[in-house]
Amino acid sequence: MKAFMIERYGDRTGVRAGEMPEPEVGAGDVLVRIHAASVNPLDLRLRDGAFKAFLPYRLPLILGNDFAGVVVRTGSAVTRFAVGDEVYARPDKDRIGTFAEFIAVHQDDVAIKPATLTMEEAASLPLVALTSWQALVERAQVRPGQRVLIHAGAGGLGTIAVQLAKELGAHVATTVSTAKVDVVKELGADVVVDYKQQDFATVLDGYDVVLDSLGGETLEKSLQVLRPGGTVISVAGPPDAAFARELGLNAILRLVMSALSFRMRRRAKRRNVTYSFLFMRAGGGQLRELTPLIEAGKIRPVVDRVFPFDETREAMEYVEKGRSKAGKVVVAMT
């Protein structure tokens, strides 16, 4: 089958098209012909080797972390799906590879595609929708009336997180550039901070939850806007020991993770708030909980641009250079 892969970690020059064997289908797996896949910052970080210390993939590695497509074969133990079902999913971290014609995924990680969406729209959702759910519902347990700050509200994660936080009843603030203010207002943001004109840390205060996708200085300043007892959840900050335990890493790597996040956790503790790192996981059950919200139009995908499959490398460069106006970049296989 055709696929886009890396044979070595590095920069954009390491991504190439090639032929790979069709994936083997286990008893609990479904084989899906991929119709569309989306490009995520995670793909760029994997390409660059950012996680190779604790996600030891075998190379060559097919990139791509979410998709929409049609089931073409089922394993002997599969009960949830049948050939011909239209599905979408974020594969487990150990079974990524959606920039390809086919993928084998365990049935527990798959959900029926929302009937109201195209394949391209559905492919834009799994990773960012699951990240939003795991941050806001599972970890922060956002309740009506709470104040939530979502950084980069016009980005792939931000556009979905803003909508989910509003659906949970939160008062939502977000940060964007001048050109994207109207986009996030349409998505329901109550307060929009144009970071080119204002410093969010000087205009926001008393927030219960911050969802950070930027890291660095933005993450550090986010501690200032939290009320005592608040929490900042980051997908871009330093990993912590809890993350290491989730991955089942050994004691040495748990110590390394704890050391990486020590400064951030100490600063948070001094302000009587908490910091946690989130590396989202696959979850067909959570996607099934999100699907009714999507079909009801309460959460809608935002797709910036669709590239043909042959231009997957160009699609990744488009994301890397920050050219997206709002939402996700998608690769169409057909």
Nearest to 92 by CA among 70, 109, 77: 109
pTM of the model: 0.96
pLDDT in tens, 243-274: 888 878 788 878 888 888 899 999 999 999 99
74 pLDDT tier (thresholds 50, 70, 90): very high
pLDDT of residue 201: 97
Per the DSSP assignment, residues forming a β-bridge with 123 are: none
Question: What's the whole-number mean pLDDT along residues 314-324?
Answer: 94
148 pLDDT tier (thresholds 50, 70, 90): very high
In words, the CATH class of domain 2-124+301-332 is alpha beta
Question: What's the whole-number mean pLDDT along residues 302-307?
Answer: 98
DSSP string, 200-253: HHHH---EEEEEESS-HHHHHHHGGGEEEEEEEEESSS---HHHHHHHT--HHH
Helix crossing, 156-167 with 126-133: angle to 10°?
Answer: 40
51 pLDDT tier (thresholds 50, 70, 90): confident
In words, the CATH class of domain 127-277 is alpha beta
Q: Would you state the structure tokens that stand for residue 98, as one six-digit string? A: 């959606």
**Extents of the domains making up the chain:** 2-124+301-332, 127-277
Q: From edge to edge, which strands make up the β-sheet containing 15-19? A: 15-19, 2-6, 61-62
What does DSSP say about strands 86-89 and 110-112: parallel, antiparallel, or unpaired? antiparallel
pLDDT of residue 53: 79
Q: How far apart are CA 212 and CA 234, in angstroms?
A: 5
